[in-house]
Amino acid sequence: MSQVGTTEVIDGVGILTIDYPPVNALSVHTRRALDEGFRQFAADDDVKAIVLICAGRTFIAGADISEFGKDMGGPSLQDVFEIIENGGKPVVAAIHGTALGGGYELALICHYRIAVPSAKVGLPEVALGLLPGAGGTQRLPRIVGIPAALDLITGGAPTGAQKALALGMIDALAEEGNLREGAIAFAADLIQKGGPLTRVRDRQDKVEPYRGKPEIYSEYLAKHARAFRGFKAPFNIVKAIEAAAELPFEQGIVRERELFQELVTSTESAAQRYYFFAERQGAKVPDFAKDVQPLAIAKVGVIGAGTMGTGIAMACLDAGLSVTMVERDEAALDRGAATIADTYKKQVERGRLKPDVAEQRLGKLDTALFLDAVKETDLIIEAVFEDMDIKEGLFAELDLIAKPEAIIASNSSFLDLNEIAAATSRPSGVVGLHFFSPANVMRLLEIVRGSATSDTTLATALSFAKKIAKVPVVSGVGPGFIANRVMAPRSQQALQLALQGPEPEQIDQAMFNFGFAMGPFAMADLVGLDVIGRGSNERTLQSDLIKIGRLGQKKGGGFYDYDASRTATPSPVASQVIADFAAAKGVSTKIELTADEIVERLLYPVVNECAKILDEGIAARASDIDVACILGYGWPVYTGGPMFWADTVGLGKVVEGLEAMGIEPAKLLKEKAANGESFTRG
């Protein structure tokens, strides 16, 4: 028996324990251990029933994602499944932690499933651009019916044990902490009763009522058109589930395999699998001592009760931290506190939050008009007006007030963190925590590492990010850090292009088709042209629009016209402003571009900026930039982010495109293109 699997027989129950850290993924080693373990039990006449259980933090959490697209070796999943399902002895899957993907599909092959109340089960493959390709699309509908299967598999969210029991996804609950005993007792009971070898594949009752009803699937796709846009996997999942209703099991499995193959070889899935690991890489800082211990953070001070301050306060409260929010102006403080109370109230009304949890969170919020109130906090996050003098003054004051070991963080989105830190006597305890608005919702947290930021401070910032459920990306000090800096050329190019003929709606449409939720002009109108242009005295296209009161959506007009329900229509007035501005700037060449050409115009310069930021060491790796753009700017995940996308396009083509636009390609980009290298692969 391999080290990954151990077997034991107690009173006729064979127990196979899989131990393959960290998550018992179905790697070649795990498959081998399953194959050997089940063969051994099949040949052992003393074994009358089998329990499959896992050691460590979880039941099998899925296929080994790093094996996809490679020669897998060892017994195939199908071989392993065959001996479990048809081995002639009842098998009980004993589930704790998360039985996901191939792990839950394996549990569906077993004849029974028992789980502890804290366990979760599900088929999350959609998030990897895949479908459950080991029978999940054929077996789950046979348990829960077609409508529930559509939601569960296209949504991908795990289901808690209680709900899973109600849906039939598991058969019984074991006492928390006593899974092994519970599963052995369940198996012993089966032996005693001569428990039947029920196979999920043989069930028809849940799918029969939906047979011959193609409209179920077309209506489902129409209803979710917005969420599925650009992705491939949801469409193949729906086709596979339709096959579960319409075809005999064996044929359904063949159909599932074809549809899986289409996905696993697609760029979309490659991008989404790359992104899965990219998100987890962010917390691993390359030049960082491994044994540094983060400081404990229980109380957080937030300075500023504006949009950012209240969002940050809620992100902390949501994670169970105590928050003291400080604002000098009483009315502003009251407004901030009311916003927080109101947000929780709405979440309760929508059934997203239990009333007692909302109470608890609000109970952990203190407000104050004086900085002294944060003297006991472990971490202070400043979210005041973006002005260096104000920030320097504030940091000097906080330095005198804060505990010596407290960390002081700035939420600045572009100011020099080293300069801010120099205003204190503890630059090693200063770090940037750049949240994206709304800070309680957006998952990205850029952690800005100043030249003096200590490893302990950085480790604490990283563990704080995990605590408040953010995805961290570490950035060096530089204007705009990562996401804002690399995405800026998109807007600049859009504005320049609009002077040469293409209308804002045509440019926005090209960005929408690429996969962004909206284009740069619609976005500018949403945020407000006055907000975007704040601090600049230059004459710009925006300043010309502002001059005639076109501040964006809130004023009924910006780059677009808006009706009372804020529906946008192309604006002849804005078109005239653009034409006048172009004339004033001496731009007379008019060009016509296809949507693809617009994408190149706007996004190749983004790639160029990414290459610069990587070369300068502001970002440690290409994948960090991709994560920042996907989570911070809604760059479509199925393209993998700007760096992965550039590799897909071909770096040589990007270089040529930039040169054709009269933009000097970044040194690193040119080198990689010349050497046939990529940013993200190999």
List, by residue number, the catalytic residues: 105, 125
Judged by CB under 6 A, the stretch of 124-132, 430-438, 529-537, 541-549 that binds ligand TC6 is 124-132
Nearest approach in angstroms of CB 317 to ligand TC6 is: 22
In the complex, what is the shortest distance from the CB of residue 132 to ligand TC6, in angstroms, rounded to a whole number? 6
Q: Decide: is 22 part of the binding site for ligand TC6 (CB under 6 A).
A: yes
Adjacency order of strands within the sheet including 98-100? 98-100, 120-122, 159-160
Nearer residue to ligand TC6 within complex by CB, 581 or 644: 644
- Return the number of the residue (424 or 623) whose C-beta is nearest ligand TC6: 623
Q: Do the Cβ atoms of 276 and 131 come closer than 8 Å? A: no
Rule CB under 6 A: which of 265-284 touch ligand TC6? Answer: 277, 280
Nearer to ligand TC6, 281 or 484 (CB): 281
Q: What is the helix (H) or strand (E) element at residue 433, kind and residue range?
A: strand 430-435
> Residue 247 carries which side chain, given as an amino acid letter?
L
Residues 132-151 touching ligand TC6, rule: CB under 6 A, are: 132-134
Q: In what order do the strands lie in the sheet with 322-326?
A: 365-368, 322-326, 299-303, 379-382, 407-410, 430-435, 444-448, 471-475
Rule CB under 6 A: which of 79-118 touch ligand TC6? 98, 100-102
Return the number of the residue (134 or 546) whose C-beta is nearest ligand TC6: 134
| Least distance in angstroms from the C-beta of 276 to ligand TC6 | 7
State whether the Cα torsion 513-516-521-525 is positive or negative.
positive
CA distance 27 to 29: 5
According to CB under 6 A, which residues from 25 to 44 bind ligand TC6?
Answer: 25
Q: How far is CA 595 from CA 80, 569, 599, in A?
A: 48, 19, 6
List the one residue from 125, 327, 525, 600 that touches ligand TC6 (CB under 6 A): 125
SS3 content of the chain, % helix, strand, coil (to 5): 50, 15, 35
**DSSP letter at 381?**
E
- CB nearer to ligand TC6: give 119 or 321: 119
Closest CA to 333 of 325, 341, 322, 324: 325
Q: Indicate which single residue of 4, 15, 16, 23 sits in contact with ligand TC6 (rule: CB under 6 A).
A: 23
Does residue number 75 form part of the binding site for ligand TC6 (CB under 6 A)? no
Q: Which is nearer to ligand TC6, 62 or 657 (CB)?
A: 62
Q: Report the residue from 50, 53, 63, 522 that binds ligand TC6 according to the rule CB under 6 A.
A: 63
The pair of structure tokens assigned to 398 is 């906080």
Residue holding tokens 């920030």? Answer: 391
Least gap, CB of 76 to ligand TC6 (angstroms): 9
Radius of gyration of the chain measured on its C-alpha atoms? 28
Single residue of 9, 55, 65, 579 touching ligand TC6 by CB under 6 A: 65
Q: For residue 235, give the amino acid letter.
A: F
The count of chain residues that interact with ligand TC6, using the rule CB under 6 A, is 24
Residue 354 and residue 376: Cα distance in Å, rounded?
Answer: 30
> Residue 22 CB, nearest distance to ligand TC6 (Å)?
4
In sequence order, the 6+-apart residues with CB closer than 8 A to the CB of 163 are none
CB of 273 to ligand TC6, least distance (A): 9
Helix (H, G, I), strand (E, B) or coil at 551: coil
For ligand TC6, which stretch binds (CB under 6 A), given 64-72, 352-360, 367-375, 528-536?
64-72
The answer to whether 641 contacts ligand TC6 (rule: CB under 6 A) is: no
CA 230 to chain centre: 16
The answer to whether 57 touches 97, Cβ cutoff 8 Å, is yes
Whether the bond into 665 is cis, omega within 30 of 0: no
Of 531, 542, 534, 538, nearest to 498 by C-alpha is 542
The span of 62-70, 159-167, 335-343, 658-666 binding ligand TC6 (CB under 6 A) equals 62-70
Q: Report the residue number, 61 or 420, with the smaller CB distance to ligand TC6.
A: 61
CB of 451 to ligand TC6, least distance (A): 28
Interface characters, 556-595, with ligand TC6 (x: CB under 6 A): ----------------------------------------
Q: Residue 18 forms beta bridges with which residues? A: 5, 54
Q: How far is the CB of 207 from ligand TC6 (least distance, A)?
A: 21
Q: What is the distance between the terminal CA atoms of the chain, rounded to a whole angstrom?
A: 34
* Closest distance of CB 237 from ligand TC6, Å: 12
Helices 77-85 & 102-109, crossing angle to 10 degrees? 30
Nearer of residues 66 and 360 to ligand TC6, judged by Cβ: 66
Closest CA to 435 of 631, 288, 622: 631
Region of 123-131, 342-350, 535-543, 547-555 interacting with ligand TC6 (CB under 6 A): 123-131
Residues that bind ligand TC6 (CB under 6 A): 22-23, 25, 58, 61-66, 77, 98, 100-102, 124-125, 128, 130, 132-134, 277, 280
